[in-house]
Chains A and B, each alone.
Chain A
C-alpha cells in the first residue's frame, strides 16, 4: 500500500510533533510512505516507479491513500485533495481540534465524497486515528505491494498463453497473473465472507 502524507512546512513545535506521530503510525503499519514533511521523501516500490515513468503519469496517481495535516490553509492541500477526489482514493484530513479547515468551504456537503474523512485531532488521539483510518481502508480495494517472492513452475502452454495475453500490452506476465488472482478473490463469495468475519473479529 502506498500512502502520501502532506503537511505544510511549519515551525510550530506542536504541529511538528504531530507529524512525527503520524509518520510513526504509518511506519508501524508497514506501508510505503511518501511525504513532503521534514525533508521530501519519496518511497515507492520499483514497480510503481517504473510504471509511472513508462506511462508518464505523476506518482500521486499511484497512491492508494492520502493523509493531510490541514490545520492551516495551504494551496498544495487543495491541489492534492482535488486529485484524491478525482482518483476516488481514501483521504484522512486531520486538523487540530479547535481550528476550522477552510478548504472544504468551497465544496458543498453533497460534493464531499464518503471516502474523505475529516477528523479533528489532539496529540493523544492522533496515532490511533491514523491507524483506524488505515484499517478502515481495508474495505476499499487497495493496490497492495507484492512483497512475497513466489517461484512457480509453469508449462510451456501456460507460458504461451501468458505471452498471448500480455504481448503488445503495458503489463507484465506477473502483473497479469496477479490481476487474475485478485479478480478471482473478489468474485469468491466464500473468501469474501471469511474475510468479513475475520475483520469483525479483529
Chain B
C-alpha cells in the first residue's frame, strides 16, 4: 500500500479561535494553557497533518505590529520544523494582519495561512471585541475555516494567504472588512482545495524577517479649516507625515506647501490618495495599498527599512 509522507503544521494563536460560544475549556484560546485543550477539540485537523500550537497573544485588545512581529519571529524560528503555518487571528483585523505579515515575511517559501473564527468567547465579549454580522458562520463555519487553513498550509503554495468561507485570498491584496472581503482570489474550496494557478509555489529559499516599523509617523487628515502649517510645527519628533485627504474641496497642493513650511526638519510626507490622479512634487511620496490602514502600515514599514528617499519612493509604490 502506498503511504504518503506526513506533513506538519504550526498553529499560532492571536485571538479569533472560538469554536463554540459555550465557553468550556478548549472552546477558545486566550491563554497559553488553552492551546492544548483547543487542539484536542479540533483533533480532526490531525487527520490532515501533525499539528502543534504556539500562543502569541490573547487577541482581547488591540492586535498590532508587536504581535505580528512576534508571530513572524516564531515562524522564522520554527521554519525548518514545519511544512506550513496557520495564524489563528482576531477575526475583525485579519485583512490588516495579512498585509502586515506579507510585508514582514516578504518572499517566504512556505505557506502562512491566516484565518479566524467569527464566534466570540466570553473573554472576547467581555473585552469588547466587536461581533461582526456575517452570513457564513456558526460553530461549523469556524471549525471549517481551521480545517481549510490546515489543508492550504500543506498545499503547494507559498506566501501569506487568507482562508475564509470558500475562498483563498492573496494576503497583501485584501481590502474591506471581514463582512465584505475583497481581494485577489487564489483558489476556491468546494470538495477540495483548488488553486487557479496564480499562486506562488513553495521554494527552498531562506526566510528573511523584515519586522522594523517606524512608529513615529503623524497621521494628518486634510479637512477644510485645519491650519496645516500650525499643525506641522507641533510635529517636532515625527519621522514622517502620512497625509490622507478624506473630504473633497481641499486644495491639496496648497495644503502640502503649508505643511512643508511648518515642518522644522526634512520630514518625508507620504500621500495616500487612491482615487485621484494628483501627482505630488518632491519631497512628497505617494503610497499605494488596498486600504488607508494598510497604506499607513506600508509607510511605517518602508520607513523602518530605509532612510533613502529614492528607495522609499520605490518601496511605497
Residues of chain A within 8 A (CB-CB) of B44 are 81-83, 85-86, 107, 111
CB <8 Å contact, A73 and B1: yes
- Bound Cα distance A35, B261 (Å): 69
- Bound Cα distance A4, B190 (Å): 11
Interface: B2 (CB within 8 A): yes
- Bound Cα distance A72, B190 (Å): 22
Interface: A102 (CB within 8 A): yes
Interface: A60 (CB within 8 A): yes
Residues of chain A within 8 A (CB-CB) of B147 are 79, 82-83, 86
Q: Which stretch from A51-59, A121-129, A182-190 is at the chain B interface? A: A51-59
Residues of chain B within 8 A (CB-CB) of A100 are 1
Interface: A29 (CB within 8 A): no
Interface string of A119-155 (1 = CB under 8 A from B): 0000000000000000000000000000000000000
Residues of chain B within 8 A (CB-CB) of A57 are 136, 141, 144, 165-166
Residues of chain B within 8 A (CB-CB) of A55 are 135-136, 165
CB <8 Å contact, A61 and B144: yes
- The verdict on A54 contacting B1 (CB below 8 Å), with A61-B144, A76-B192, A106-B47 known, is no
Interface: B151 (CB within 8 A): yes
Majority secondary structure, A binding face: helix
Which of B45, B135, B193 contacts A82 (CB under 8 A)?
Answer: B45
Which of B47, B135, B192, B193 contacts A107 (CB under 8 A)?
Answer: B47
What is the minimal beta-carbon distance from B304 to any residue of chain A, in angstroms?
Answer: 36
A106 — nearest CB in chain B belongs to which residue?
B46
Residues of chain B within 8 A (CB-CB) of A73 are 1-4
Which of A54, A61, A82, A87 contacts B48 (CB under 8 A)?
Answer: A82
What is the minimal beta-carbon distance from B142 to any residue of chain A, in angstroms?
Answer: 9
Most buried by B among A72, A86, A108, A170: A86
Q: Which of B151-208 contact A (CB under 8 A)?
A: 151, 154, 165-167, 189-193
Q: Which of B18-53 contact A (CB under 8 A)?
A: 43-48, 50
A6 — nearest CB in chain B belongs to which residue?
B191
- Bound Cα distance A72, B189 (Å): 23
Q: Which of B137-153 contact A (CB under 8 A)?
A: 140-141, 143-144, 147-148, 150-151
The 10 closest A-B pairs by CB, nearest first: A56-B165, A82-B44, A86-B143, A85-B44, A78-B47, A58-B166, A55-B135, A58-B189, A111-B43, A79-B151
| Chain B contacts to A: CB under 8 angstroms | 1-4, 43-48, 50, 135-136, 140-141, 143-144, 147-148, 150-151, 154, 165-167, 189-193
**Can you list 14 A-B contacts (CB < 8 A)?**
A6-B191, A36-B191, A54-B135, A58-B144, A58-B190, A61-B140, A75-B4, A76-B192, A78-B48, A79-B147, A79-B151, A79-B192, A100-B1, A106-B50
Q: Assuming A81-B44, A83-B44, what are 14 further A-B pairs, CB within 8 angstroms?
A: A36-B192, A54-B135, A56-B136, A56-B166, A57-B141, A57-B144, A58-B191, A78-B48, A79-B193, A80-B191, A80-B192, A83-B147, A86-B44, A102-B1
